[in-house]
Amino acid sequence: MRGLVSLSWGRLATALLLVFVHLNLAAALSVPRFFELEARTRADLDANTVRRELGSRLSPGTLIFGPSDGKFPATTARWNTFAPPQIQVVVQPASEADVAKIVQYCNANGIDFLATNGGHGNSASLGTFTGVQISMALLRTITIQPNKKSAWFQGGVYGGLVTKYLWERGFVTTTGSCLYGMVVDNVLQLNVVLGDGRAIRVSPTSNSDLLWGMKGAGHNFGIVTSFELNIFPRGPDTWHYHNYIWTGAQLERVFTSLNRLHNNGSTPVNMALNFGFFFMNTTVSTTDPILSWTFAYRGPANEAEALLAEFNAIPSVYNEQGDVPYSGVSKVQGNAEDDFICQKGNKRITTTAGLQVYNLTAERLIYNGFRARAISHPTLAAGAGILHEGYSTAGVGARNPADTAYPFRSDHHLMLFNGVVPPNDPVLEELAWEWANEVKDMWNAGQPTRTENNYVNYANGYEDLETVYGREPWRLARLRALKQKYDPQNKFRFYNPIVESREGKGKGKGKGKGKGKRRSFQG
């Protein structure tokens, strides 16, 4: 499918333009810049050259550096090193206006560019990139608007920063929870740099057709330099949290209670942040993974504990509870930026699924599969975590599914298999892929009447496009029409692309090894 898309307009457009350029070349030998598809290629790209040619055009404070710079490793570090982008030079713009200039410079020199923010992007399609990383790390200004109903955020902000900033000023927004729907449901307008280097406003009155695409597939269309998002009064001063560790023996009771709590998408709205893992904790057992669950409730302990009574009745190995400001919830739930789960530099094998309810048989089989690996391949088991997310999703389901490019509003649970493998161990890596696909298959087999859905931000890049962007034919058709209009050169093709690389950069085509399910982005 991706090949067809590429041929249908991407390659054709390229071919026509090349003919045009060649004709001009033959006629004049020198080609004006504006006739060239990609004016030059820059095989000898290095930071000194970029600094010399581009540096003076950018704002003071902008940083340009390459692999020999001490800042390079941290700036290019990835959460998943399975198929990392190949970064030749990093440019860290100090102002939003610089982003367009960097893109224009890259285009004029035939250099690919990739915006990065947190480096958590997981898709193996990122591994097809070689070129300039536009690091958004210096663009982190947040400006609350006078009406206190929205704020402008620059393109380099991230969840923890936003949560803390707003909380201290009496507000919250859609970071971490879905109380008010998803982030995309609350975006009012965006400033975007397109692939040709034009800076545009995307709003209900300006380039309004693109607003729909930016809400769920924005990485295919441009670099967001800033965006305006709804904010809300922060509500109660504290959130109640309760963390539990159960043994596998309690699995059926735990999932029965989880299904009752979530009630097929009707999770009590204030029971906002709930998730759990299967993982090894050898102080509990060297063969049996634990079930580690955490619940965070927007409000006082008595309200939360009434909803958690069933869980309190399940004998646990350990549990702890407390009350913290919202800005402290990620820390007590173990997913703050300095926590293990966010740690960068590991080679990870992942698969995902979207569910409505937990299937007890599937979960027992998945647990038993984990236990088998703990015995047969303890190294593999030691680095693995099987994530089950169950946020309160009423705000997500309340929106019209057609309003945004996000297609899976009827999924209530996001699942992620996350295996960590050593850098050079193809045998263990293959075993991890088998395991990852097995878990995914079990999740999907546990909901035989539903389709396979892969949340774009958890997708590993090998999934079929329809399972990521939606099966309704109009969805991909609409995205492709927007792509043709706003990024005809397919400059944004490195993160779960809706149009595959026209240069065939996906290293090696065809199916991979993991039960015929893997595509071939891997380097």
Ligand X SMILES: Cc1cc2nc3c(=O)[nH]c(=O)nc-3n(C[C@H](O)[C@H](O)[C@H](O)COP(=O)(O)OP(=O)(O)OC[C@H]3O[C@@H](n4cnc5c(N)ncnc54)[C@H](O)[C@@H]3O)c2cc1C
* Chosen residue from 54, 91, 214, 224 binding ligand X by CB under 6 A: 224
Binding to ligand X by residue 194, rule CB under 6 A? no
In angstroms, give the least distance from the CB of 163 to ligand X: 12
d(CA 468, CA 487): 20
Location of structure tokens 């820390």: 331
Residue with smaller CB distance to ligand X, 202 or 381:
202
* Chosen residue from 10, 93, 119, 268 binding ligand X by CB under 6 A: 119
Residue with smaller CB distance to ligand X, 178 or 380:
178
In angstroms, give the least distance from the CB of 157 to ligand X: 9
Residue with smaller CB distance to ligand X, 117 or 489:
117
CA 27 centroid distance within chain: 48
Nearest to 448 by CA among 361, 515, 514: 361
Quick check: 190 and 214 in contact, CB under 8 A? yes
Binding to ligand X by residue 181, rule CB under 6 A? no
Binding to ligand X by residue 328, rule CB under 6 A? no
Kindly state the helix (H) or strand (E) to which residue 25 belongs, with its residue range: helix 12-28
Nearest to 68 by CA among 47, 51, 93, 42: 47
Region near ligand X per CB under 6 A, out of 24-32, 38-46, 112-120, 443-451: 112-120
DSSP-derived letter for residue 8 is I
* Chosen residue from 495, 497, 500, 521 binding ligand X by CB under 6 A: 495
Residue with smaller CB distance to ligand X, 226 or 257:
226
* Chosen residue from 92, 107, 116, 350 binding ligand X by CB under 6 A: 116
Beta bridge partners of 324: 239
- The 28-47 site mask, x for binding ligand X (CB under 6 A), equals --------------------
Quick check: 222 and 193 in contact, CB under 8 A? yes
Cα distance between the two ends of the chain = 21
Region near ligand X per CB under 6 A, out of 43-51, 113-121, 164-172, 206-214: 113-121
* Chosen residue from 63, 136, 211, 332 binding ligand X by CB under 6 A: 136
Binding to ligand X by residue 142, rule CB under 6 A? no
Q: Which residues contact 504 (CB under 8 A, 6 or more apart)?
A: none
* Chosen residue from 5, 83, 102, 115 binding ligand X by CB under 6 A: 115
Handedness of CA 450, 456, 458, 460 (dihedral sign): positive
Quick check: 201 and 189 in contact, CB under 8 A? yes
Region near ligand X per CB under 6 A, out of 102-110, 114-122, 247-255, 314-322: 114-122
Location of structure tokens 């593999």: 380
Q: Record the tokens describing residue 124, joined without a space.
A: 């193996």
Residue with smaller CB distance to ligand X, 248 or 407:
407
Of all residues in the shown chain, the one whose CB is closest to ligand X is 118
Region near ligand X per CB under 6 A, out of 26-34, 116-124, 264-272, 480-488: 116-124
Nearest to 520 by CA among 466, 447, 460: 460
d(CA 176, CA 170): 17
Length of the chain, in residues = 523
In angstroms, give the least distance from the CB of 155 to ligand X: 3
Region near ligand X per CB under 6 A, out of 109-117, 248-256, 291-299, 424-432: 109-117
DSSP line for 108-156: HTT--EEEESSS----GGGGG-EEEEEE-TT---EEE-TTSSEEEEETT
Residue with smaller CB distance to ligand X, 121 or 369:
121
* Chosen residue from 13, 269, 314, 342 binding ligand X by CB under 6 A: 342
* Chosen residue from 62, 122, 191, 501 binding ligand X by CB under 6 A: 122
SS3 content of the chain, % helix, strand, coil (to 5): 35, 20, 40
* Chosen residue from 24, 49, 319, 457 binding ligand X by CB under 6 A: 457
Residue with smaller CB distance to ligand X, 297 or 494:
494
Binding to ligand X by residue 364, rule CB under 6 A? no
Binding to ligand X by residue 505, rule CB under 6 A? no
* Chosen residue from 5, 50, 75, 79 binding ligand X by CB under 6 A: 79
Binding to ligand X by residue 428, rule CB under 6 A? no
Quick check: 469 and 479 in contact, CB under 8 A? yes
SS (H, E, C) 287-315: CCCEEEEEEEECCCHHHHHHHCHHHHCCC
Per CB under 6 A, which of residues 385..424 are in contact with ligand X?
Answer: none
Quick check: 79 and 348 in contact, CB under 8 A? yes
Binding site for ligand X (CB under 6 A): 79, 114-122, 136, 155, 219, 223-224, 341-342, 457, 494-495
